[in-house]
Amino acid sequence: MKLHDFRALSKALSEIENSGPQSLQILKDCYAAKKGAPILGVTGLPGAGKSTLVDHLIQHLRGAGKTVGVIAIDPSSPFTGGALLGDRVRMQRHASDEGVFIRSLGSRGSHGGLSRATRDLTVCLDAYGFDEIIIETVGVGQTELDIMGLATTTVVVLVPESGDAVQTIKAGLTEIADIFVVNKADRQGADGLQKMLQAMVDMDNSRSQALTVTIPVLLTQANQGIGVQELWRAVLNHRKALQKDSQHEKRQQTFRCAQFLELCGEAIRQQVESKLLSNKKWKDLVDQVASGKTNPYEALEKVLKYFQNVAGDGIDNAGLL
Amino acid sequence: MKLHDFRALSKALSEIENSGPQSLQILKDCYAAKKGAPILGVTGLPGAGKSTLVDHLIQHLRGAGKTVGVIAIDPSSPFTGGALLGDRVRMQRHASDEGVFIRSLGSRGSHGGLSRATRDLTVCLDAYGFDEIIIETVGVGQTELDIMGLATTTVVVLVPESGDAVQTIKAGLTEIADIFVVNKADRQGADGLQKMLQAMVDMDNSRSQALTVTIPVLLTQANQGIGVQELWRAVLNHRKALQKDSQHEKRQQTFRCAQFLELCGEAIRQQVESKLLSNKKWKDLVDQVASGKTNPYEALEKVLKYFQNVAGDGIDNAGLL
């Protein structure tokens, strides 16, 4: 499988997103061919101006001769269609640029979940050979926090609007920030928000010590490109700090382990589901539960017993290892 | 297992949330004992005033002599501890009331995911015998949309603030609404927002026809309890409409089927993960992937082949059905 152009890449990404029959082979090949491009995560609450910021980051990177692959995670809505995706449209100015590839992922409908899809797509973009990979995601919810675990550097974007800081903290975003950006910095309250975030960063000693760099709190006006250069400098600084960080490789190992367990668990979960639906005896059980006649937890017990029986003791004799 | 008081209930809920050794037995018993209480879902973007609204709904229901069990899903943060959970504190006025039980679920750390935990906890609250069950969740992200699938009636709360409507639509919330609430209705723009939502509801004919009632768009001022009675009336209307709806049972069956598949898939996913970590040979493979030396997708192929071998053909001979 060779990803020689955007069309081939798009096709491969679709196959992976839909867990098609070729997807495992593509992923094996992509992983073997991956180049280790750094991943920048950009997250924040709805309306923080993430897309605009990413748009200007792309421009900045293109100016420096870098190629960029972007995964943009957008809550999709069959009801509204694409009508409200103005952010995406704005990014279309990069459409004719062969050094930029943007892929949108809806928040629903990805086979096996959004964080699975994002992880696998990232491997593919890396194999294609982009210098930089950016993941943009709306930062509320468990899935979105999981996705940001993929990023080498995570930028959390806030705006000086009432409640935004508190909601960002409540959503757990402040814990995953390597860099804070106060966007729409021309608005009232930007300085106050910056001070508040700075105080919070100073308070959180433990994490800063581990990294030997403090988390910067930057001001941007994304719609005018103001502060984008400084942001990029901070990203590069963070990468340098990571290289010097003795804990980094250990954290990476923990992350790779967790990712692999999730990968296996999710793949087997999919197989179990399809088995339950395709095998006559199991399908009868599913139908009984669906009709409300059978206690689902009793049915679950049967399923679990079966899988324990077959997979419990024989595991050493499988001859596959 | 008898859930005779709040302490026993709390203990059971914790066991379930953590997937403890007793959890499957508790759930089997609870499902068998469940009474079929209707579930009210309340969702919306951060800051919409959901907790305040739920607080007043509880008061209203208590006034009518009903007991209420609440699951509140709060993005938790180890960094901030409980300091910012002001909403929860406000609800403490029900703490001494034996007819009200409130359980908070963090958005992280629930074993097997948040939507699994919410579903199982709901079964437990129902078995305890509450007349009404309320699930309150911040409505952004895939998990949160999944959770709202549990609700008999889903209330989507919006506020007249710039961008709130668009973001609510983008988050997919408008598609799951049985009732719209424009909260903070004393603010400027409330009427405009109501009109906009009403127009959207009118446009969405297909769904309204299926239900034979249109989706109401109500105004509330939750902090003063204004509009709460009307909201409750709308909830009861929706329940009545569901009973007359010929498609309702069919949708329920589809939902129960999906829930059961998820239940089985998730339970087996957990077992696979623990097997991979506890068995020496598999653990070696996991370690190789963690160290970056082995291609995770090649390792996945081995795991899948093993599970296909053991679970593939023998399924009819398991003797468990």
Residues B49-66, mean pLDDT to the nearest whole number: 94
pLDDT at A109 over 80: no
Using the Cβ of A316 and the Cβ atoms of chain B, whether some distance falls under 8 Å is answered with yes
Q: Does a structural domain hold residue B230?
A: yes
Residues of chain B neighbouring A316 (CB-CB closer than 8 A): 279, 281
In terms of domains, do A301 and A184 share one? no
Least Cα distance to B175 among B149, B150, B213 occurs for B149
In terms of domains, do B263 and B240 share one? no
Higher pLDDT, A110 or B280: B280
pTM: 0.72
CB–CB contact B292 A141 (8 Å): no
**Using only C-alpha atoms, what is the Rg of chain A?**
22
| Percent of chain B clearing pLDDT 70 (strictly above) | 81
In whole angstroms, give the CA distance from residue B153 to residue B148: 9
Q: Does a structural domain hold residue A319?
A: no
pLDDT in tens, A195-206: 988 888 887 655
In terms of domains, do B107 and B227 share one? yes
- The C-alpha of B151 sits at a distance from chain A's nearest C-alpha, in angstroms, of 17
Per-residue confidence (pLDDT) for residue A319, from 0 to 100:
39
Q: Which residues pair with B104 in a beta bridge?
A: B72
Q: What average pLDDT does chain B have? A: 82
Interface ipTM above 0.90: no
In whole angstroms, give the CA distance from residue B11 to residue A30: 47
Least Cα distance to A122 among A40, A206, A196, A22 occurs for A40
Out of B245, B264, B280, a domain closes at B245
Out of A192, A224, A245, a domain closes at A245
Q: What amino acid is encoded at A318 in this protein?
A: A
Higher pLDDT, B208 or B294: B294
Using the Cβ of A309 and the Cβ atoms of chain B, whether some distance falls under 8 Å is answered with yes
Q: Does a structural domain hold residue B28?
A: yes
In terms of domains, do A32 and A166 share one? yes
B244 CB burial (10 A radius; 0-12, 13-18, 19+): exposed
User: Are the CB atoms for B55 and B91 separated by under 8 Å?
Assistant: yes
Read off the CATH number of the domain in which B200 is found: 3.40.50.300
Per-residue confidence (pLDDT) for residue A18, from 0 to 100:
85
SS3 B267: helix
Using the Cβ of B6 and the Cβ atoms of chain A, whether some distance falls under 8 Å is answered with no
Q: Does a structural domain hold residue A320?
A: no
Overall number of domains in chain A: 2
User: Are the CB atoms for B5 and B117 separated by under 8 Å?
Assistant: no
Q: Does a structural domain hold residue B1?
A: no
Q: How many beta carbons lie within 10 A of that of residue A72, not counting itself?
A: 21
In terms of domains, do A199 and A262 share one? no
Domain housing A14: 6-245
In terms of domains, do B147 and B264 share one? no
Q: What amino acid is encoded at B71 in this protein?
A: I
In whole angstroms, give the CA distance from residue B68 to residue B62: 8
pLDDT at A131 over 80: yes
A224 CB burial (10 A radius; 0-12, 13-18, 19+): exposed
Least Cα distance to A177 among B77, B83, B290 occurs for B77
In terms of domains, do B79 and B141 share one? yes
In terms of domains, do B11 and B90 share one? yes
Residues 213-232 of A with CB under 8 A from B: none
**Distant-in-sequence, close-in-space partners of B250: CB < 8 Å, separation ≥ 6:** none
> A53-62, A167-176, A275-284, B229-238: lowest mean pLDDT where?
A167-176
Residue of B nearest to A305 (CA): B320
Per-residue confidence (pLDDT) for residue A211, from 0 to 100:
52
Out of A245, A264, A284, a domain closes at A245
Residues of chain B neighbouring A276 (CB-CB closer than 8 A): 261, 264
Per-residue confidence (pLDDT) for residue A82, from 0 to 100:
35
Q: Does a structural domain hold residue B19?
A: yes
What is the maximal distance between C-alpha atoms in chain A?
67
CB-nearest to B273 from A75, A261, A281 is: A261
Which band of pLDDT confidence, cut at 50, 70 and 90, is reported for residue B211? low
Q: Does a structural domain hold residue B250?
A: no
Residues B256-265, mean pLDDT to the nearest whole number: 88
Can you say how many angstroms the Cα of residue A206 is from the centroid of all Cα atoms in its chain?
Answer: 25
In terms of domains, do B266 and B221 share one? no
In terms of domains, do A283 and A260 share one? yes
**In the block, residue with structure tokens 């409200």:** A84
User: Are the CB atoms for A71 and A122 separated by under 8 Å?
Assistant: yes
Which band of pLDDT confidence, cut at 50, 70 and 90, is reported for residue B321? very low
Which band of pLDDT confidence, cut at 50, 70 and 90, is reported for residue B199? confident
Tokens of A133: 């990979």
In terms of domains, do A73 and A126 share one? yes
- The C-alpha of A54 sits at a distance from chain B's nearest C-alpha, in angstroms, of 19
pLDDT at A318 over 50: no
Using the Cβ of A268 and the Cβ atoms of chain B, whether some distance falls under 8 Å is answered with yes
Per-residue confidence (pLDDT) for residue A81, from 0 to 100:
33
CB-nearest to B297 from A28, A303, A316 is: A28
Using the Cβ of A202 and the Cβ atoms of chain B, whether some distance falls under 8 Å is answered with no
In terms of domains, do A37 and A135 share one? yes
Per-residue confidence (pLDDT) for residue B26, from 0 to 100:
95
**In the block, residue with structure tokens 């469940």:** B34
Residues A307-312, mean pLDDT to the nearest whole number: 60
Q: Does a structural domain hold residue A158?
A: yes
CB–CB contact A265 B256 (8 Å): no
One-character DSSP codes across B166-197: HHHHHTTGGGG-SEEEE-STTSTTHHHHHHHH
Q: What average pLDDT does chain A have? A: 82
Q: What amino acid is encoded at A113 in this protein?
A: G
